[in-house]
Amino acid sequence: MLMNRAETLLVNSPPRRWLQRLYEAPLLARLGGRTLGAHVAEIGCGSGYGTRLILDVFGAATVDAVDLDPAMIERARRRLARYDGRVRLAVGDATDLRAAFDADDGTYDAVFDFGIIHHIPAWRDAVAEAARVLKPGGRFYFEEVTATALARPTYRALFDHPTKDRFTAGEFLAELSRHQLEFGEQWRTRTGGDYLLGVAERG
């Protein structure tokens, strides 16, 4: 599901960027390590700010970044122009990376999810697809918004999200396990379970 206007403004605002750069990326790097020289996929890349972090902070060599929204991909194209040759962008669905990038099983060293799977009605399919395209030992970096947050009055009033079958932190982690994505102690919840960050390794 695409973002509405309010969420588009918030997601592309300086405070959100600071949060992503100064808090989320360092925490994810601490939990799962950097991705030096890696071939990475990013699902729901939005305007490409996270893609830049994956290249500059995590040290990936190349990123295939997909988003459902052509307007976001256009913004990402402008933001990432100077990384020519290291980034492939596609309008497409996180549940089908074969359509977006012709991605076979075991293609990527890492997959990044900066707050996008909660936007997908068939969210389990996105987890399954991330697991499918990861190499054995590859890492899934996730930052997610749970059903607890989505049920809060402010979220409901301001933003558009699928309303059925949203996941708690525990349900999301259980789905990772079903797809051989092993997380050990490498995950954290925040603000009473509203947010979930972590790194899982493909068995």
Q: What are phi and psi of 105, to 5 degrees?
A: -60, 140
Closest approach, Cβ 27 to ligand SAM, in A, equals 14
94 is a site residue for ligand SAM (CB under 6 A):
yes
The helix/strand/coil state of 64 is strand
Closer to ligand SAM by CB, 9 or 182: give it.
9
Closest CA to 160 of 148, 150, 149: 150
146 is a site residue for ligand SAM (CB under 6 A):
no
1 is a site residue for ligand SAM (CB under 6 A):
yes
Pairing of strands 62-67, 39-43: parallel
* The binder of ligand SAM chosen from 25, 110, 120, 133 (CB under 6 A): 120
Token pair for 11: 């997601």
The span from the CA of 127 to the CA of 86, in Å, is 25
46 is a site residue for ligand SAM (CB under 6 A):
yes
- Which range in 55-63, 78-86, 109-117, 130-138 contacts ligand SAM by CB under 6 A? 109-117
- Which range in 32-40, 113-121, 167-175, 190-198 contacts ligand SAM by CB under 6 A? 113-121
Closest approach, Cβ 171 to ligand SAM, in A, equals 18
Amino acid at 28: L
6 is a site residue for ligand SAM (CB under 6 A):
no
125 is a site residue for ligand SAM (CB under 6 A):
no
The span from the CA of 6 to the CA of 3, in Å, is 8
* The binder of ligand SAM chosen from 89, 116, 131, 197 (CB under 6 A): 116
Are the CB atoms for 56 and 85 separated by under 8 Å? no
Q: What are phi and psi of 178, to 5 degrees?
A: -60, -20
Closest CA to 111 of 45, 185, 161: 45
> Which residues of the shown chain bind ligand SAM in the complex (CB under 6 A)?
1-3, 11, 43-46, 49-50, 66-69, 72, 93-94, 114-116, 119-120
